[in-house]
Amino acid sequence: MSDHGFRDFYYHGGAFNNIDHDQQSYGGETDHMYRVSSSSIDPSYMSFTDCLHSTSMDYGSLEKAFGLSPSSSEVFSSVEGGNRTMMKQHVGADELGGNTGEVTATLNSSVSSSSSEAGCEEDSDKSKKDGQPKGSDDGGESSKKGNKAKMKGEKKQREPRFAFVTKSEVDQLEDGYRWRKYGQKAVKNSPYPRSYYRCTTQKCTVKKRVERSFQDPSTVITTYEGQHNHPLPTTLRGSAAGLFPPSMLTPSPMGRPSFPHELLMQMPNYHHQMNNQAPGGSMFAENFSPFQQYVHQHQVPDYGLLQDMVPSTFLKHEP
């Protein structure tokens, strides 16, 4: 596949460490991965969520998101293939160490397409066969061919996508929504298949892909596409509603927490910690992820239950 004008973000759950750049082939695409340092992020400026909801996500937005400035050391951008905007910043050394709690972000931005980027909303694309408003979930068998015919002449546009790279034994990360698997494909250059899921809520066209990294089989790449147009299902598997505080399950000022990272951004103390991190120090004691911090600070008792619903990225045990 090539660039279709989507925008990907890769969030590797945990504390932000450094922005570092590397390039890797992922799912047939060559993506640029960014490891983002906590010290390089100014959450008071713009959150990841803000960033993702931004309708004009581009290099500038990413700068804002990560609190970067073009004048910062080792910040640069490049354009690849004429329509990709790249950036990099390397702030400080790797003294924070390890891969624990690192954010990996990919910007795969198309400058050409995506006008006002209805991409952030549903209606825009659906140039793809599926999703059609009427076709809805199932039944619309005519949708298969009908949509394909309709596709002709239309430029393919994609929902904004972003992925979470998490260390997890299980492929399916519990995010509070219910998903129906609708396909599975072998991935080129990878022994692990990629699974395709669709949100089971009617008229919600959010999709996600789940695949295990062949480079690091312990990590799972979950790619979300689109935004939920509905609240979290009341009947959550693993009773997430009982574990997360109301503030994490109710719509945020910018909308409801459609994705785990949104939950993350709504976690109490998250911003506080980000802002008050001691220079050079670890943002979260003992390399705990924000969620771990949250769990610890709130002394959530039932770890086993948490494990059921929270990716191990958030619940990694310390020896």
Partner DNA sequence: CGACTTTGACCAGCGC
Partner DNA sequence: GCGCTGGTCAAAGTCG
Chain residues in the site for DNA (CB under 7 A)? 1-2, 4, 27-28, 128-131, 135, 138, 140-141, 143-145, 148-149, 151-152, 156, 178-188, 194-198, 200, 207, 209
Nearer to DNA, 26 or 270 (CB): 26
Q: Smallest distance, Å, CB 130 to DNA? A: 3
Return the H-helix or E-strand segment holding 164.
strand 161-167
Nearer to DNA, 174 or 262 (CB): 174
Q: Smallest distance, Å, CB 313 to DNA? A: 20
Nearer to DNA, 28 or 97 (CB): 28
Alpha helices in the chain (DSSP H): 48-53, 59-65, 141-151, 240-243, 246-249, 260-266, 270-276, 290-298, 303-309, 312-315
Nearer to DNA, 125 or 262 (CB): 125
Residue 15 to residue 153: CA distance in whole angstroms: 44
Q: Smallest distance, Å, CB 192 to DNA? A: 12
Residue 69 to residue 61: CA distance in whole angstroms: 11
Residue 194 neighbours by CB under 8 Å, 6+ apart: 27, 184, 185, 186, 187, 209, 210, 211
* Closest to 37 measured CA to CA, from 111, 88, 110: 88
- Token pair for residue 135? 């076709």
Q: Smallest distance, Å, CB 73 to DNA? A: 34
Q: Smallest distance, Å, CB 124 to DNA? A: 14
Residue written as tokens 């785990």? 260
Nearer to DNA, 178 or 256 (CB): 178
Asked if 225 contacts 258 with a C-beta cutoff of 8 angstroms, the reply is no
Nearer to DNA, 27 or 290 (CB): 27
Q: Smallest distance, Å, CB 163 to DNA? A: 11
